[in-house]
Chain A
Amino acid sequence: SQKIEQNSEALNIQEGKTATLTCNYTNYSPAYLQWYRQDPGRGPVFLLLIRENEKEKRKERLKVTFDTTLKQSLFHITASQPADSATYLCALYNFNKFYFGSGTKLNVKP
C-alpha cells in the first residue's frame, strides 16, 4: 500500500539550533515533493518544492533534500526561531494529485 510517513511525535528543539524533519514514502514515484507549514486552524502554506532530479534545494534558512533511492526527504530549518513552531507537512505529487503526510509538529523553545 502507499504510505507517506512523518514522525508523529513532536520535535522539541532550542532556539538557534537546526531542526531536521523526515518524510519517508513507499509505493509512490513522485515527480516532485513539497513541504508545507500549517498553523492550528489554518490551511497549509507552501514552503519549498524539490523535483525528482534534484538532490537539494535551499531557501533562506530552509533546506530540503530528496533521495529517490531511499525514498526520503529531509527538511532542515537552520537557526530556528520560536516563530518557526508549527506543523510541517510533506506532500508528493503523483499522477496529477497531491498526497500529504500526517505532519510533524515542531516546537522551538526560546
Chain B
Amino acid sequence: GAVVSQHPSRVICKSGTSVKIECRSLDFQATTMFWYRQFPKQSLMLMATSNEGSKATYEQGVEKDKFLINHASLTLSTLTVTSAHPEDSSFYICSAEGATGNTGELFFGEGSRLTVL
C-alpha cells in the first residue's frame, strides 16, 4: 500500500520556538493531505486540509497563524507550529488520500510527538 512518511517522530522544544513537521507521500502523489492532532486517549481532531499549490483550509477554532501549513509539491506538506507553548504539546498526524483510484482510503504518517517545555 501507499506510504506516508512523517518527520520528526519526536521533538522537544522550548516555549516560544517554532517547530516544523514534514509529511511526505513516498510512492504516490497527494494533491490533498490532512493534518490532525490527538490528545491522549482522545480522537483525531482535524486541524486543516492541505491542498497542493493553494492555501490550506482550517477547521473552526484552529489558528492559521499559529499552525502554518505549506503544500508546495504533490509529495510534501509541512506543518509549522509557531511560537510553541506547552499547551501545543500533542501528537500531530498527517494523512493523504490514496491516489490509485477512488478507494477512499486514508494513509497516515507515523505521527510526530511534540513536547513543549
Contact = CB atoms under 8 A, between A and B. Distances in A.
Interface size class of B (residues with CB under 8 A): 20 to 34
A36 B38 CA distance: 15
Contact of B43 (A32, A41, A49, A102): A102
Contacts of A36: 106, 108
Say what secondary structure dominates the interface of chain B: strand
B104 A41 contact: no
Interface in B1-44: 1, 4, 6, 34, 36, 41-44
A18 B94 CA distance: 32
Interface size class of A (residues with CB under 8 A): 20 to 34
B103 interface: yes
Interface of B: 1, 4, 6, 34, 36, 41-44, 46, 49, 91, 93, 95, 103-111, 113
